[in-house]
Amino acid sequence: MNTRKALTIPGRITALSANYNQDQSCFAVGLEDGFAVMNSDPCELRIHRRFDGGVAIAIMLGRSNFLALVGGGRDPKFPPNKVVIWDDAKQRVVITLEFKSDVLGVRLSRSRIVVVLRNHISIYTFSSPPQRLQAFETVHNDFGIACLGSKHVAFPGRTIGQVNLFDLQTGNNTIVPAHTSAIMALALSPNGDLLATASENGTLIRIFSTSSSAIVTELRRGIDKAMVYSMAFSPSSNRIAVTSDKGTLHIFDVFSQPPAAAAASASNPTTEQQRPSSRSAETAGMGPTEANKRFSLLGKLPLLPKYFNSEWSFTQAKVEGIGKNSLGWTDEDTIIVTSTEDCKWEKFVILNAPNTESGKACEREAWRNFVEGVDIPFSR
């Protein structure tokens, strides 16, 4: 059964999804009449393929001619239990994978196809015909959460709050006890060294080393519970951006910590409300970059728990798009947020701001309707 709601602008084209490619330079849009591919910045239409049916999921393979498509909408082009690999150069389907239940997510690389079902993850070779390499059971994963990096696949484990980290090179599978509540978002850094996790509480973002599974740092999105919509590392892997249903974009610096401190933190699992910051003892010998550490002022009060010592974002901005969104970095200081409910594309830039505590600020530079391709006048 297709449960994806068509995101409709009355009398206009409708959008079902928007997903970034691997380097976040483009995003693919699922439509009621096919799919479209857009440049991330500037937001420009590259292609629009019209079908006699809807596409709920469209995933690009880099900037190549291959896309993974899953049918959906009012009149699906393909059955929702199938993944088809579309060769846009040949204008036809070249690979088909069929399952017993609806496909909730797909991830692509030049060598792998990862398919996400409600309680199952399968990893295939990107070949014709594809060969299944691995299969894993998971907890209920209704949001199709998974991420595929250059070295690993990460996805919810069989126990709530755990993450499976599968090494594509060695075949080793590591269980990361990331949270005490259900996993809501995952992200792998471009260099493959870091894994970011968020739970359904949405208050803390935890970053782990993919080589040791030790916690590297803990970031605080906020104190109130929130649904994390999207997380992504910057091209250098030195920053991470997070959006949520609070309508905010938070941007954090990602700092490494000494291996001994990381190992000690990882060996002392606690609840989301009890785990101390992994960076609370690092204050001596800070260089210019490390001096940007920003902790909650509440954590400096002697009677409050170390829970408040998690590192906070160095800047944030208001996202105007309605409903669920996804984000991508086009360079180290530029973030694109696409909100599918109102088909809004928003461009945010990180600027120097000497009068702020962090020395940085985030401003929305432009926006437009990415489906219509009509510019909306911008004024500050």
∠ Cα 73 108 174 (to 5°): 115
Mean pLDDT throughout 289-293? 39
> Are residues 183 and 89 located together in one domain of the fold?
no
Q: Give a yes or no: residue 330 inside a domain.
A: yes
> Are residues 355 and 264 located together in one domain of the fold?
yes
> Are residues 95 and 194 located together in one domain of the fold?
no
Q: Give a yes or no: residue 114 inside a domain.
A: no
- The whole-angstrom separation of Cα 144 and Cα 43 is 26
Q: How many helices (H) and strands (E) does the chain have?
A: 1, 30
Would the pLDDT of 15 be above 60? yes
Task: Report the candidate in 39, 38, 29 with the shortest Cα–Cα distance to residue 9.
Answer: 29
pLDDT tens figures, 177-227: 999 999 999 999 999 999 999 999 999 999 999 999 999 999 999 999 999
Longest dimension (CA), the chain: 66
Instruction: Give the contacts of 371 (CB within 8 A, at least 6 positions apart).
Output: 9, 12, 13, 14, 15, 29, 31, 36, 343
Would the pLDDT of 168 be above 70? yes
> Are residues 221 and 363 located together in one domain of the fold?
yes
Residue 261 DSSP label: H
Q: Give a yes or no: residue 325 inside a domain.
A: yes
Range of the domain at 9: 1-108
- The whole-angstrom separation of Cα 251 and Cα 243 is 9
* pLDDT value of residue 297: 44
The number of distinct structural domains making up the chain is 2
Amino acid 365 reads E
> Are residues 103 and 164 located together in one domain of the fold?
no
* pLDDT value of residue 44: 94
Q: Give a yes or no: residue 129 inside a domain.
A: no
Mean pLDDT throughout 314-339? 96
CA 200 to chain centre: 14
Q: Give a yes or no: residue 300 inside a domain.
A: yes
User: How would residue 372 be classed by pLDDT, with cut points 50, 70 and 90?
Assistant: confident
Contact predicate 59/95, CB 8 Å: no
Q: Give a yes or no: residue 113 inside a domain.
A: no
> Are residues 347 and 220 located together in one domain of the fold?
yes
pLDDT tens figures, 217-250: 999 999 999 999 999 999 999 999 999 999 999 9
> Are residues 84 and 168 located together in one domain of the fold?
no
> Are residues 163 and 227 located together in one domain of the fold?
yes
- Any idea what the CATH number is for the domain that residue 38 is in? 2.130.10.10
> Are residues 102 and 142 located together in one domain of the fold?
no
Burial 65-75, CB ≥16 within 10 A → b, else e: ebbbbbbbbee
Would the pLDDT of 310 be above 90? no
Does residue 129 have a cis peptide bond before it, meaning omega lies within 30 degrees of 0?
A: yes
Contact predicate 104/115, CB 8 Å: no
Task: Report the candidate in 209, 311, 206 with the shortest Cα–Cα distance to residue 259.
Answer: 209
| Two structure tokens written together for 42 | 């500037």
pLDDT tens figures, 123-160: 999 999 999 999 999 999 999 999 999 999 999 999 99
The mean pLDDT value of the chain amounts to: 85
∠ Cα 377 379 380 (to 5°): 155
Domain boundary residue, one of 108, 125, 146:
108
| Two structure tokens written together for 154 | 């990460």
CB count, 10 Å around CB of 216? Answer: 25
0.95 exceeded by the pTM?
no
Domain boundary residue, one of 57, 86, 108:
108
pLDDT tens figures, 52-103: 999 999 999 999 999 999 999 999 999 999 999 999 999 999 999 999 999 9
Domain boundary residue, one of 92, 108, 124:
108
> Are residues 343 and 258 located together in one domain of the fold?
yes
Q: Strands 315-318 and 374-375: what pairing? A: unpaired
> Are residues 182 and 104 located together in one domain of the fold?
no
Contact predicate 115/106, CB 8 Å: yes
Contacts of residues 21-24 at CB distance under 8 Å and 24 or more positions apart, as own/partner, are: 21/59, 21/60, 21/61, 21/62, 21/63, 22/60, 22/61, 22/62, 22/108, 22/109, 23/62, 23/63, 23/190, 23/235, 24/232, 24/328, 24/329, 24/330, 24/336
- The whole-angstrom separation of Cα 146 and Cα 292 is 31
DSSP per-residue codes, 101-168:
S---EEEE-SSEEEEEETTEEEEEESSSS--EEEEEE-S--TT---EE-SSEEEEE-SSTTEEEEEET
pLDDT tens figures, 244-279: 999 999 999 997 444 334 444 444 444 444 443 333
- State the sign of the Cα–Cα–Cα–Cα dihedral 45, 47, 53, 58: negative
Q: Give a yes or no: residue 118 inside a domain.
A: no
Q: Give a yes or no: residue 93 inside a domain.
A: yes
* pLDDT value of residue 32: 93
